Structure formats: structure tokens, C-alpha cells
Amino acid sequence: MNTTDQLANYLNRRSFLGQAGIGFGSAALLSLLGKDARGAGSGSSPHALPGLPHHHAKIKRVIFLCMAGGPSHLETFDYKPELNQLNGQPMPDSFTKGQPIAQLQGHKLKVQGHLTKFKEYGTGQYISDFLPYHRKMADQLCIVKSMLTEQINHDPAHTFMNTGTAISGRPSMGSWINYGLGSESDDLPGFVVMTSVGGRNPQPIAARQWGAGFLPSRHQGVEFNSTGDPVHYVTNPKGVSRSQQDALVQSIRQLDIHRNETVDNPEIKARIAAYEMAFRMQTSVPELTDVSKEPKHILEMYGAKPGDGSYASNCLLARRLAEKGVRFIQLYHRGWDHHGGLEKYMNICCGLTDKPTYALLTDLKQRGMLEETLIVWGGEFGRTPMFQGKGGAGRDHHIKGFSMWLAGGGIKGGTAYGETDELGYSSVKDIVHVRDLHATMLHLLGINHERFSLKFQGLDMRLTGVEPARVVKGVLA
Amino acid sequence: MMSRIPLHPHWILCASLTLSASAEVDFNRDIRPILSDNCFACHGPDKKKRKSSLRLDTFKGATEGGELADPIVPGKPDESEVVVRIFHQDPDEIMPPPDSHKKLKPQQKELLKQWIAEGANYAEPWTYLAPKRHPVPKVSFKAWPTNWVDHFILARLEGEKLAPSPDADLITLVRRLHFDLLGLPPTPKEVAAFQKAATQNLQAAIENEVDHLLASPHYGERMAIYWLDLVRYADTVGYHGDQDQSISPYRDYVIDAFNDNLPFDQFTREQLAGDLLPSPTIDQKIATGYNRLLQTSHEGGVQAREYLAIYFADRVRNVSNVWMGATVGCAQCHDHKYDPYTTKDFYSLGAFFADIDEAQHFKVGSNSLPTKRPPELEVHTKRERKRIAALEKLLAAGKFASPEDREKVQAALAALQKAKRKTMITVATEPRTVRILPRGNWLDDSGLIVEPATPEFLSKDHPSPASARPTRLDLANWFTDPVEGTGGLTARVMANRFWYLFFGTGIAKRLDDFGGQGEAPVHPELLDNLAVEFYQSDWDVKHIMRLLVTSRAYRQSSLESPALRERDPYNRLLARQSRYRLPAETIRDNALSISGLLRSDYGGASAKPYQPPGYYRHLNFPTRKYSHHADERQWRRGVYVHWQRQFLHPMLRAFDAPTREECTAERPRSNTPIAAMTLLNDPTFVEAARVFGERIIRVGGKSNKERLEFAYRLALSRIPDERERSIMGKLFTLAEKEFKSHPTAAKELISAGQAPVPSDLDPAEHATWTTIARAILNLSETYTRN
């Protein structure tokens, strides 16, 4: 073993213990040293864990479009004629007895018919009038109508969707994926989060949703901001030019290297690499987030105005991040919590998200990138078939059945999968639990979810947990 | 060769360490970890998941077998089915089965075989055996130890044919002591004084320094950080709207408790059950804030029963992590897979807390800042009360030189009297009924009703309190009574954590899980003796800390030879000291201290440093506008920084401070570009650098040489060498040139933050020294504990 190998080995051992992760720096350091300690023979993923991928990966990255607040499946993709027939009548007790209920606790439950019309596309696909652009890309989508989650309040439901458990502090799926496969970008984080707002009563989103939990912290999601510094502290202090900052970082580097001649501390080498990458990020991040040089027709296709922080701009940034090799890109659009005024707010939310989502998919497709990307669309849960009236007709939180869609590499487009019962209450056919979604996502990335674990508190922790989870073969091409 | 990374390298290390220690197989050290990790999930304590009715976690189970005839035949490996199966080649026969994704290594198989050949002796898990005092081992290198701790370390090293490292140099040593005990760097004066004293008598100098540090109020601030991580102290509720909650007096109570050296058993009683003590004092009531630290929510639509179940589990996880070093939380839905905790134990332990009315806030919780979380109490902390009493005495005596002096005192008193803070406390109410929730399902009412009780298997030796309905106070006593309860086990959990604070890794690596899946201690006898010493000293925390930091082991150099690194990469044998990046709060305090900005105010409401604008934009109910403190509170110590669970200050987060949603016994020590950018560009550090720059110019002497030496002394306790002077010299020239030709840029840089901008200094010169100061604050050495 030469010194580089030893160092690489040491650093990786440290980072693997989880308790002492050396972070981001190690991969950068190793590539600086012209060595890559990870993943000899693992093919397309130079920073993957040994043994990963477990099988041929269909996709390289995931773009997760989270419609935060919980869009109504009954006004998007799940058409139930009986719901309209029973409109205004009491909700049959057989559906709701003994079931968890959120804000409608203690209220009289009555059926709320669809607040929109549907058209049929592909095999069993229905898409509502709220989503005209979705109709244009129906042939690309696999709509899953039989989702199931376990948490009925926003905060724990997001935590559940992102980490597979409602207990705080576990790693999010983006962190898991980066931990397993590594980042393909040398000057950007492998997990980027962006948010936008617009709709009813934006629910809070906690940073734990993109936390790394017990995985090394370099795998945690980095939030890109639409105002101020695109990433916290990425901008030089006022009065410090780029060349000054460069000289400073180089001096720190020289001093650390000099010091290390005396103390021979592998950590110092990792820190030097971290500083170099930080310095690179100070250029690469502003470059990436500056979309002003995008051609006009592209900006128009998304409906993005540079720097407006909209979902449209975030979709455009998502494409740019994907091009740079970012592994997991997550967008939150906050505004889908439609306890009342559902029609009005669906118009707002869909108005803000429908076209940009279409643009993102189309743009990826025309660049030949859709087939190596998985796009996931959906909220943390769905909404009740029952009426709620906080300022006009609306719907309460609902977890027993709701819709999401998948598109991109390895996905059977133009199809629908699974069904809820006749009133859209419970998923009844081909149920897809959140864990199954995770398992399927990992599968497409070449990871067997059962074999992808890390020891924490003495347990082999997995994204999919200990309960059974399955790869949903029915959505795969 | 190409480096392949073993998935569980600690096992390899562990095995190589233990194997070389003794040729004979030791169940707890060598066998239990293998069985636990590979077999217990199906053949362990959880009877519901047990396959073929076979359990391998007890001698009885393993020898009588379930559906198998002879799983283990003591002394006869060849007749033991277990041995046949683990060596089997057929995928249908081999154990563990392929679909478990577990695989025994050849070395592990041989160990199991050897163990069975030697009689398959089981031992009680070390975790649950009360610690006893072991004889202090003899050593050859008699001149080395300074106290009995060293005998254990040295004996092991000698057994391994390793020598301890030489003492660290005096500068490293005094910096280590200050960082470890105060979380602050020593001043140049303190360094010089220590050096002088140490040249006369090193051990006496260390002991004096330690006594001095343990008496400093900053000691409590530093130790509190660790405790606050364990108990998940934060300024906000955690779930949903993450509103502020009233709790900061509890944080001050913890600081006081360490400073006043409150015995750990009393510390335990006051937090878990201060309200149940006879005529509880205000401080004991404040202490019961512990029971209120869990994350809570009043989100519209929360279902009371669901959240009561969530809170219940949260408590059990935390209490068992903190005081038992156990993961009883794992038994919420099923019996524990690796440890003998049953689901009933989980609910019985949680039932101790059934008298806490935690449902009130579902109704009264408001979207205000702070929100309402009754019961709350308006209090002055201990220090504040003392100060009030002192001021009142002063006024009563009436001896003032001038009426202005009198007014000043009156004003100070009035301000203090007004500064009462609200804090959440515990008030016992009629306990609610606690049922076992089948598979953790809160909708299911069919489970058995349970009463408060300590875990059954532990209660054989440490009977559960006998009172009619045991209370939180009974539980606290059980945790801390070494005779009637599990005091010895608690002492061991804590002693291990104290060790970690001063050596970088626990004697048992896992600080919050001493269970079967944890790792056996490397120096079990030493850990036992420390535990016994702890409770026999009447739970004297400072006594244990003094013992550890005055040992010879502590004093060692942290430099490592490549050979030693290869041999013991995680430094489990302590042939050297450890070195690691400072914790988040210390990185902040260090920079502020070097610059001279750091405030030494003690206690009080939480402080708000600069924070990127819009960082709280995802919060709602209410929407949040963060305003940093525009006065001296800006420069308070990290322990006082406002702890927003959902959006922890990005600087704290970048350096691995936990969100305190759950118990954290050991923080990771990461090294990311985000952290580097923070140290380079966060206004807190830029301001610290420019105030440091000003200090260098004003006090550092006339020549650049003197000034650089002054700066190095402040930050690194030493002077720069030739090479460092040369690198810094070049940076200086470059910066000087730039700032002379760009006076506006210079002015911008020296205006960072809110500290007064000096008008009498040349901005270009000030900006240049600010650049040097930034370099120094970013050196690895500056933020490393060596």
C-alpha cells in the first residue's frame, strides 16, 4: 500500500463509521490525488460504495417534484363517477369508521363530488381540467393511483415520504442515494433542494426533510436560494475580490500543508480539499443559478423569469443541475393544502406548476436526458373524498389513497397503475406504499433496497425500513 | 493495491484487538457481537419473530434447542447443528440464510467453533452486570502513571507491546485543557503562566490549572452543551410551525448544575421529578423542564391520541438513551430484537410519565412567539436571584459614594427584577391509563393496561420500586441507586461519556447503546472502576473529570506514527491522545475570543447571531422574521445561541451541531465545503477577523513581524516559523496592494458586522490585517483540538 492508498483507506474508514464522517472532502481529495478509492469496477459511478450498483441502473438521477400540502387526487388523476353521484350526501360509515381523520374530527362527514372534469388518456389514465399541460405529456407518465402513506399531518407525512419513518433525524432518500452512488459532480453538491410558494396557506417545510441523519453530512441536501446568496455563504465578504479570496484560500492551503509536515494529520489533507471545493463552488454555484444566458425560447417554455424564485425557475434550474451531474434534485412547491377554496387554489397551484413541469420533462427529453432521469410528482398525502369548507368547498388530509406519477427512464409511460375504491377513499388494487416507491426508485438506480443498509444504533438501517417493501414491477417499462 | 472499503471495519479492528489480548474466547467480547448481529433477529429475544422456536441468546435455548435436536453441544462443535449450518455450502441450509444478507466471515466461524469447543460459556451481557471494582493492574513502566487510570491503559499497551506516547508539549497541553474544560482558547498570559509553572513541576502545574478551570463559570457552559445534546434541549417546539417555546431557564439550570457540581444523582432526580421532591425549590421546578423538551405540535388536525403515542415513544427513547444507554425505543412495536427489553417494558417505562398532562397544548397552543405550552412558570434563575439579593443588600446598606452610584444599582436591580423568564415545568396530575399499543398502533384499544415499572429482566437484581404506583421520583432513584437500583449501570454509561469528552472516543464506542448491538468496552475493568468511583464519590462529576484530565494518558501527545496509525487507527488503545476538529459552538467561541469580541455574560434568554436573510422563509404559523441581535448579545457564546430545531443556524449545522430533535450522544465531525465557506464568509467570522485585525494593529506592536507574532500568539499560542512568515508576508503584500488601490473595497471589508468601525486607522492597513486575520482563523490548527 502506498501512502495515497493508506490515506484513502483511512479517510474512507473514518467516513464509513458514520460517527466520524469526513464529509465531502474525501472524494474531492482523492480525485485531487488522482486516485479513487471507491468503486473499482463499479462502472458508471466512480464514487459509489463498493458493490454498488447491485444491478444495471436504468437511471442516473432523480428529480422529485414535491407538491407540498397534499394535492387532491380527486381533482387531478383519480376519477370516480360515484363520487359525483353521492355529492352532498353523508359519507357512508363503512368507509370512515375507525379511520384516522385530521381536521374533520368530530364533524359530520359528507361526500364532495369532483370539483372539475376529467378526460381519459392512455390506458386508464384520467387527467383533470386543471392540468392541460399534463394532458400533453400523458404518454410519458405512469400515474400511480393507489398510493398509501402512514402519516396524516404535514410535518410527519413529509418526514415519512422523505425518510421512510416519522421519527425525526433519519436520512432522507436524497442522502441515501448520494451515500450509495456518490455524486457525479466535482463542484456541486449531489443533493440540491429548491422551494417555491403559491396557493393556500403554505405549510412549513423543515430542513430535516433533506437531512443526512446518521449518514456522513456531506450527503445532506443543500438548499439553493432564489434570493440572497444562492447557497449560504457562497459569496465573498463585501470588499473581497475573487483574486483576493483566491489568494487567501491558497495561503491557507500552503500554511496547512506546511503544518502538516510536522503533524502528519490526514484530516488536514481532507480539509484542504474541502477548501478547494468550497472555492470552486463559489464560482460554480452562481454560474449555475444564473439563467440569464438561457435562450429566450427556453425561458418562455418554462415561463421562468430569472431570479423570481418561482417553481418555473426552479424547474429550469433542475434541468441545469441534472446536466451537471447532481444526483438528487428536489423541488417543493408549497401551497397545496386545500382545506377550502379548492377550486380557486387548484387554479393557482396548477397555474404555477403545470406548464413548468411539462417544460422540464420536454426539455430533458429533447436533450436526451429523460431516459436517464426519474421524475416523481406528488404530495405527502392526498385529500378526503369528504367535504371540508374552510372558505368554500375543500378537502381534508387523506392517507389511505392518493395519486403520484412517475416518468422517465425505466418507466412505462402512458399508463396508470393501481386503483382506489369507488369513492377514492382507500387504495384497493395494486397498493403502492411509500416504502414501495422508495424500493422502486432505488431499483431504477441499480440498488437492491434490502441490501442497502448502514448500521446505526446497532441496527441495519434501510431507507425502506424493516417492514416489507416491494419493487413495483407494474410501473416499469 | 486498490483500496476496497470494508463495510464494517470497526469489527475488524475490534477483532484484532481482542484476539491479541487473549487466546481464550470471551463470550461478551468475542461471541455476543457475532451472534447478535447475525443470529438474534430470528433466534433472539423477540419471540414473535423467532424461527424454529430456537433462541441462541441464552445457554438454555441454545443447548435445548427448539425444533432442532442439538443446536449447540458444549465442548463438541462437530455434533453441534449450529456449526454444521454455518459452514454449510448449500444455500438452503447455510446460516445465516442468504436472504438475510448476513454473512459470517471465516474468522467469525472459527471463533464460534472455538467457543463451542471451549464449552459454549454464556455470560450475562456486560451491560447489565453491575460494575465492580477491579484490582489495579501492575505495569512495568512504573514511572509513567500519575493515577490508577493510567495503570489500566498502560497494562493493556504493554500487553500489546506498545509504548505510550511522550507527553504533549506544554502549549498543546494547556490548549487541550482549556478547550476540553472551558471550550475556549487560553490567553497568551495563561499560556505563559502555565509554561512557567510546568517547568518547575509539570504535574502540580496541571493540577493547579485543572482546579482553576473547573472553578471557572465557563466550565459549566462547556459541559452543558453535551448534556443539552443528550436531552434534546431547543428553543422551539420542533414539529410543524416550530414556534418558540419558553425554556431557556432550564438551559441555565444545567450550566449552574455543572458549575456548582450538583451530584449527578440529584441532577437526575431534579430533572425527572423535581416537582415530586418535598417542598421543591424554584430550581428544582425549573429542572423538571427536562420532561418538556420533547418535540410537540399543535398543528390543526393533529389527533390527540396519535400524538400522545408519539410523545410517549419520544420520552421512552430519550430517557433510555440518556440514563440507561439503551434503545428501549426499539421495543415500541415488538420485543427488542437484540436486547431483553419487551414491548411491555417499553410501555411500563413510559407509564412513569403518564402523570404529565401533555394534551393541554393541543387546545391552547397558539401560533404566537413563544407559543403556549402550559404549565409554565415565570422565574429568576439561581444566579439572577443571587444577584438580586446582593443588589438589595447593597441598597439596604446605603453606602454610596454618589447618588449616581445609587441610581445605577437601583436601575440594575429594577432591570433584573423585570427580567423574569417563562419556563416550561412539570406538574404531576392524575395519571392517564397506559395501554400497550399492539404493533404500536394508536388506534388499537385492545392492549393490556400497564402500570409504571422498570424493565422486567433488570428488575430481578434491581427490583422495581415497591410503592403502590411508582412515580418519576422512584424511577430517578432507581437510576441512581447502586444498591437497590441500576445506579452502577447509569454510572458506567456516564463515565464512558466523560471519557469520550476527554479522549475523543468512549471506552465502549457507542455512547447511547450499551446493548447487544453496541460494542464491548476496550478497557472493561477501567470503565467499571470509573463507574464505581463515580457513585462512591457521591456522584461527584468534577472529581471524575479531574481524575481523567490529570492522568498521564490524557497528557500524551496526539501525534501518531504511520505504524501506530496502521495498528490502531481509531486510537482505541490510547497509545496517544486524540485530535479532532472543535465542536461547532467552540469554533464560534474561539474566533470571537481571539478577536476580543466574545461576551462573558452568563445565562439569560437565547442570543441571535447574524443569519442569512430569508433562512426562515419556509416556516409558517406564524411566518418568521429573524432579527439578529443588534447589541452585544451578538457576541455571546455558542451555548446561548437560539436553537431553532427545523432551521438550526447554518453555521452550527455546518459544523455538525445536532438539531436536537432526538438524543445525541456523539456528534459527527465532518469536513465539508459548506463548512469551509461558512468559516470563510459567514459575517460572524468576517467581523471577528476585522476586529482581530484592529486588535493586531493597536496592541500587536509596531513592526509587521511583531504584529504577526502577536496574532499567532492569540490564535495559536505560539509564534510563526520562517515559512509561515513568508507565506503570510506574501499574502500581506498582495492584500496591501489591492486595498491601497481599492479604498472602497477596504472600507467595505472593515465594516463587516456591527462592531464600531475605527475611524483612526488607515482602512487599507486595517483591511490588510483583516485578511491576515481571516487566514489565521481558517487554519486547521486554529480549530483543531490536539
> Does residue A18 surpass a pLDDT of 80?
no
Residues B390 and B299 in one domain: no
Model ipTM over 0.95: no
Q: What is the pLDDT of residue A64?
A: 98
**Which residue in chain A is spatially nearest to B295 when comparing CA positions?**
A168
Q: What is the pLDDT of residue B514?
A: 84
> Does residue A298 surpass a pLDDT of 70?
yes
Overall size of chain A counted in residues: 477
Beta carbons within 8 Å of B307's beta carbon, 6+ residues apart: B296, B297, B362
Q: Which of B36-40, B185-189, B481-485 has the lowest mean pLDDT?
A: B36-40
Place of cell 506544554: B170
Tell me which residue of A421, A398, A357, A408 sits closest to A130, measured CA to CA. Answer: A357
Can you state the percent helix, strand and coil of chain A, rounding each to 5? Answer: 40, 20, 45
Contacts of B657 in chain A (CB under 8 A): none
Closest-CA distance of chain B to residue A235, Å: 7
Collapsing DSSP states into helix, strand and coil, what is residue A110?
Answer: strand
Query: What's the mean pLDDT in B669-693?
Result: 95
Q: Please, what is the average pLDDT of chain B?
A: 92
C-alpha dihedral, B370 to B375 to B381 to B384, nearest 10°: 70
Residues B305 and B408 in one domain: no
C-alpha cell at A152: 396524516
Residues carrying CATH 3.40.720, chain A: 61-227+307-475
Closest-CA distance of chain A to residue B720, Å: 10
Q: What is the pLDDT of residue B467?
A: 66
Determine the Cα–Cα distance for residues A2 and A9; give it in Å rounded to an integer: 11
Asked whether residue B301 is assigned to any structural domain, the reply reads yes
Cα atoms in the 13 Å half-sphere on the side-chain side of B99: 4
The 8-class DSSP code of residue B238 comes to B
Confidence of residue A214 (pLDDT cuts 50, 70, 90): confident
Tell me which residue of B723, B730, B725 sits closest to B711, measured CA to CA. Answer: B725
- A148 CA to centre of own chain: 18
> Does residue A40 surpass a pLDDT of 70?
no
Question: How many residue contacts between A and B have a Cβ separation below 8 Å?
Answer: 294
Cα atoms in the 13 Å half-sphere on the side-chain side of A322: 29
Residues B392 and B473 in one domain: no
- CA-based end-to-end distance of chain A: 45
Q: What is the pLDDT of residue A44?
A: 46
Q: In this structure, are residues A457 and B511 in contact, taking their beta carbons and an 8 Å threshold?
A: no
Confidence of residue B66 (pLDDT cuts 50, 70, 90): low
Beta carbons within 8 Å of B677's beta carbon, 6+ residues apart: A231, A232, A233, A234, A278, A281, A282
Residues B371 and B389 in one domain: no
Query: What's the mean pLDDT in A248-254?
Result: 97
Q: In this structure, are residues B534 and B267 in contact, taking their beta carbons and an 8 Å threshold?
A: no
**Which residue in chain A is spatially nearest to B7 when comparing CA positions?**
A16
Mutate to test the interface with B, among A32, A245, A251, A336 (most CBs of B within 10 A): A251
Instruction: Report the percent of chain A where pLDDT is more than 90.
Output: 75
Asked whether residue B182 is assigned to any structural domain, the reply reads no
Q: In this structure, are residues A150 and A166 in contact, taking their beta carbons and an 8 Å threshold?
A: yes
C-alpha cell at B693: 485585525
Contacts of B569 in chain A (CB under 8 A): 10, 13
B578 burial type by CB count under 10 A (0-12 exposed, 13-18 middle, 19+ buried)? middle
> Does residue B718 surpass a pLDDT of 50?
yes
Determine the Cα–Cα distance for residues B779 and B714; give it in Å rounded to an integer: 13
Residues B395 and B259 in one domain: no
Amino acid at A210: W
Q: What is the pLDDT of residue B468?
A: 82
Domain that holds residue B83: 9-123
Q: What is the pLDDT of residue B348?
A: 96
Mutate to test the interface with B, among A172, A192, A457 (most CBs of B within 10 A): A457
Determine the Cα–Cα distance for residues A408 and B343; give it in Å rounded to an integer: 44
Determine the Cα–Cα distance for residues B514 and B321; give it in Å rounded to an integer: 9
The 8-class DSSP code of residue A327 comes to S
Determine the Cα–Cα distance for residues B355 and B374; give it in Å rounded to an integer: 14
pLDDT tens by residue, B311-329? 999 999 999 999 999 989 8
Asked whether residue B559 is assigned to any structural domain, the reply reads no
Q: In this structure, are residues B428 and B275 in contact, taking their beta carbons and an 8 Å threshold?
A: yes
Confidence of residue B355 (pLDDT cuts 50, 70, 90): very high
Antiparallel, parallel or unpaired: β A125-128 and A118-121: antiparallel
Q: Options 3.90.70, 3.90.1750, 3.40.720, 3.40.50; which CATH number does A61-227+307-475 get?
A: 3.40.720
Closest-CA distance of chain B to residue A336, Å: 14
- B731 CA to centre of own chain: 39
Q: Which of B73, B103, B123 is where one domain is finished?
A: B123
C-alpha cell at B40: 438474534
**Which residue in chain B is spatially nearest to A27 when comparing CA positions?**
B672
Distances (CA, A) of B344 to A74, B252, B328, B465, B471: 42, 36, 11, 17, 17
> Does residue A32 surpass a pLDDT of 60?
no
Distances (CA, A) of B610 to B562, B643, B656: 42, 14, 18
Cis peptide before A266 (omega within 30 of 0): no
Q: What is the pLDDT of residue A45?
A: 54
Angle, CA B254 vertex, CA B251 and CA B255 arms, to 5°: 90
The number of distinct structural domains making up chain B is: 4
pLDDT tens by residue, B247-274? 999 999 999 999 999 999 999 999 999 9
Closest-CA distance of chain B to residue A11, Å: 10
Q: What is the pLDDT of residue A46?
A: 65
Instruction: Report the percent of chain B where pLDDT is more than 70.
Output: 96
C-alpha cell at A19: 460517527
Confidence of residue B70 (pLDDT cuts 50, 70, 90): confident
Determine the Cα–Cα distance for residues B92 and B334; give it in Å rounded to an integer: 28
Q: In this structure, are residues B237 and B245 in contact, taking their beta carbons and an 8 Å threshold?
A: yes
Residues B33 and B86 in one domain: yes
Confidence of residue A120 (pLDDT cuts 50, 70, 90): very high
Q: What is the pLDDT of residue B269?
A: 98
Residues B286 and B405 in one domain: no
Q: Which of A45-54, A279-288, B61-70, B508-517 has the lowest mean pLDDT?
A: B61-70
Q: In this structure, are residues A441 and A448 in contact, taking their beta carbons and an 8 Å threshold?
A: no
**Which residue in chain B is spatially nearest to A16 when comparing CA positions?**
B7
Asked whether residue B158 is assigned to any structural domain, the reply reads no
Strand partners, A376: A64, A406
A204 to B619: CB separation less than 8 angstroms, yes or no: yes
Region for B621 from its dihedrals, namely left if φ exceeds 0, alpha if ψ lies in -120 to 50, beta otherwise: left
B775 to A248: CB separation less than 8 angstroms, yes or no: yes
**Which residue in chain B is spatially nearest to A227 when comparing CA positions?**
B614
Q: Where are the beta strands (DSSP E) in A337-380?
A: 373-378
Q: In this structure, are residues A162 and A172 in contact, taking their beta carbons and an 8 Å threshold?
A: yes
Distances (CA, A) of A358 to A65, A117, A141, A353: 12, 20, 11, 9
Asked whether residue B548 is assigned to any structural domain, the reply reads no
Tell me which residue of B102, B115, B108, B122 sits closest to B38, measured CA to CA. Answer: B102
Q: In this structure, are residues A74 and A310 in contact, taking their beta carbons and an 8 Å threshold?
A: no
pLDDT tens by residue, A304-354? 998 899 999 999 999 999 999 999 999 999 999 999 999 999 999 999 999
Run of H or E including A220: none
Write the residue in B6, B8, B727 that is nearest to A455 by C-beta.
Answer: B8
Closest-CA distance of chain B to residue A457, Å: 6
Q: In this structure, are residues A148 and A289 in contact, taking their beta carbons and an 8 Å threshold?
A: no
Amino acid at B297: S
- B259 CA to centre of own chain: 17
Q: In this structure, are residues A332 and A340 in contact, taking their beta carbons and an 8 Å threshold?
A: no
At residue B449, what are phi and psi to the nearest 5 degrees?
Answer: -80, 135
Closest-CA distance of chain A to residue B365, Å: 16
A274 to B5: CB separation less than 8 angstroms, yes or no: no
Q: What is the pLDDT of residue B465?
A: 67
C-alpha cell at A105: 374530527
Residues B466 and B594 in one domain: no
Place of cell 465578504: A237
Asked whether residue B177 is assigned to any structural domain, the reply reads no
pLDDT tens by residue, B414-460? 999 999 999 999 999 999 999 999 988 888 889 999 999 999 988 77
Q: In this structure, are residues A331 and A315 in contact, taking their beta carbons and an 8 Å threshold?
A: yes
Residues B476 and B600 in one domain: no
Tell me which residue of B148, B193, B153, B142 sits closest to B170, measured CA to CA. Answer: B193
Write the residue in B612, B680, B748 that is nearest to A229 by C-beta.
Answer: B612
